[in-house]
């Protein structure tokens, strides 16, 4: 390595300070282990600085715009005169800065060493930063993911990734979003709320292809009602910046133009250099066993480096799980299908467990119930539409446990906790039916769907 100085050693050496990495460090410190965190940029990673938090702050500002625009529907006379993007970004950044300060305080309080710089794993449980070697009794690879690029669509001033879109100083008059997954749908929803004319292009037959068919259909219908154009099954063959805008070409010869193009076709793992160090990879993801161990003894991989849902809370869970393993405990790793998912659009989409098609493929005989939010008092107060879909194994009257919950509607992401408990604990509808849900809340919609599966619906017309 060209450096004869002794390596600095700790119990847990973590490469990457994002959700998975810092969660691992915090839990390790809590368990009495010495931990060193190596981070190129700021602790908190993509989620805190370029992903979950700033995006949701912008989406909340978009919600405020929507509510203001619709104020007269509620008897409030208000006028939306303008959206000051500089002020919106200042609000967004204030949220990020406050959370970042709090996170730094947590890390300092646990005695975690933070090394600023580009780390390179070189094998033998060693990471080199600026020529200095650091070693660990265990090494945790937590370098996360980055926006996926498309070879024939170069990123520029008006063709942008989500990182660039988060900093856009003005609202585009027209926007094309390439990709109808979570990131694409959230940006499309946000820009439409800000007043842009938005088109979403998705190569798959439907938006949010990882969600239940019903959720995708319900969401697409709602977005179209908001004036968002959705083109599913659309293949983009090329795009180029064209004067003050961008030109997009689709298979079949169709052409489109807009002020900006957002490329939101997913994220890819930041795993460059690991294979050269002998770490086994598969399609760019680090190969791990069921305990998140790599092919190098004492070396783990967590978060977006591991194939599966690319979610910050999955990263938290991975980091905590690995720290507890290193501390000699016997933790249980939650299966990916039990990790809740939320798309923070208007309306929101939330789910946990199996989709109807996956449940049918796995179990054969299933029963699915959809409760329309039209029958839920709080949803009517909020003027939101959508529904709650609950899936159980077997017949409605005598089947097995709940295996999937899917919800569409404003604020339904706040209902996912109870849904996760249902699916995670393999609850029977008759186990949950006696629960009393406060009135009027949207939680009642989830309760009504379960009552229907238990054979005793209260507010569903027979």
Asked whether the beta carbons of 130 and 54 are under 8 A apart, the reply is no
Report whether 231 contacts 199 (CB < 8 A). yes
Quote the CA–CA distance of 357 and 311 in Å, as a whole number. 22
Both structure tokens of 207? 């938006």
- Using N-to-C axis directions, what is the helix angle for 356-363 and 213-225, rounded to 10°? 170
Residue found under tokens 């190098």: 296
Spatial contact of 201 and 254, defined as CB atoms under 8 Å apart: no
346: closest CA among 57, 19, 63? 63
Q: Is 296 helix (H, G, I), strand (E, B) or coil?
A: coil
- Tell me the residue length of the chain: 462
Catalytic residue, candidates 89, 439, 459, 461: 439
Is 313 catalytic? The answer is no
Instruction: Sort strands 281-282 and 285-286 into parallel, antiparallel or unpaired.
Output: antiparallel
Cβ(213)–Cβ(355) under 8 Å?
yes
Q: Which two tokens stand for residue 223?
A: 């977005």
CA distances from 185 to 188, 206, 238, 287, 293 (A): 5, 12, 21, 30, 34
Q: Is the peptide bond before 440 cis (omega within 30 degrees of 0)?
A: yes
Which residues are identified as catalytic?
Answer: 439
């Amino acid at each position: 390595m060209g450096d004869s100085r002794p390596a600095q050693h700790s119990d847990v050496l973590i490469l990457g300070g994002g959700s998975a990495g810092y969660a691992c460090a915090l839990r390790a410190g809590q368990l009495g282990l010495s931990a060193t965190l190596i981070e190129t940029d700021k602790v908190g990673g993509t989620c805190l600085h370029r992903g979950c938090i700033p995006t949701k702050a912008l989406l909340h500002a978009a919600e405020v715009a929507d509510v203001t625009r619709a104020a007269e529907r509620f008897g409030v006379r208000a006028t939306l005169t303008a959206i000051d993007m500089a002020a919106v970004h200042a609000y967004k950044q204030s949220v990020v800065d406050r959370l970042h300060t709090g996170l730094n305080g947590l890390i300092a309080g646990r005695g975690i060493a933070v090394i600023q710089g580009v780390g390179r794993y070189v094998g033998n449980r060693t990471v080199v930063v600026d020529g200095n070697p650091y070693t660990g009794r265990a090494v945790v690879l937590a370098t996360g993911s980055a926006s996926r690029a498309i070879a024939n669509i170069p990123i520029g001033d008006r063709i942008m990734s989500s990182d660039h879109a988060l900093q856009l100083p003005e609202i585009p008059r027209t926007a094309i979003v390439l990709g109808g997954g979570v990131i694409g749908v959230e940006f499309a929803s946000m820009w439409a709320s800000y007043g842009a004319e938005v088109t979403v292009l998705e190569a798959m037959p439907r938006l949010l292809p990882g969600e239940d068919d019903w959720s995708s259909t319900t969401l697409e219908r709602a977005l179209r009602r908001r004036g968002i154009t959705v083109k599913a099954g659309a293949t983009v063959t090329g795009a180029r910046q064209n004067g003050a805008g961008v030109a997009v070409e689709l298979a079949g010869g169709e052409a489109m133009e807009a002020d900006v193009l957002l490329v939101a076709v997913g994220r890819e793992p930041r795993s460059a250099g690991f294979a050269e160090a002998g770490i086994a990879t598969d399609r760019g993801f680090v190969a791990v066993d069921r305990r998140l161990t790599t092919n190098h003894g004492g070396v783990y991989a967590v978060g977006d480096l591991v194939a599966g849902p690319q979610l910050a809370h999955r990263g938290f869970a991975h980091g905590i799980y690995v720290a507890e393993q290193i501390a000699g405990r016997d933790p249980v790793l939650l299966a990916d299908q039990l990790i809740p998912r939320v798309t923070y659009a208007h309306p929101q989409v939330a789910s946990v467990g199996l989709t109807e098609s996956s449940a049918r493929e796995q179990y054969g005989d299933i029963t699915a119930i959809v409760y329309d939010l039209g029958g839920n008092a709080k949803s009517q107060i909020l003027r939101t539409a959508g529904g709650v879909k609950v899936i159980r194994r077997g017949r409605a009257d005598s089947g097995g446990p709940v295996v999937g919950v899917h919800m569409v509607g404003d604020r339904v992401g706040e209902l996912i906790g109870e849904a996760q408990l249902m699916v995670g604990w393999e609850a029977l509808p008759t186990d949950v039916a006696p629960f009393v849900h406060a009135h009027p809340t949207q939680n009642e919609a989830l309760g009504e769907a379960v009552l229907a599966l238990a054979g005793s619906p209260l507010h569903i017309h027979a």
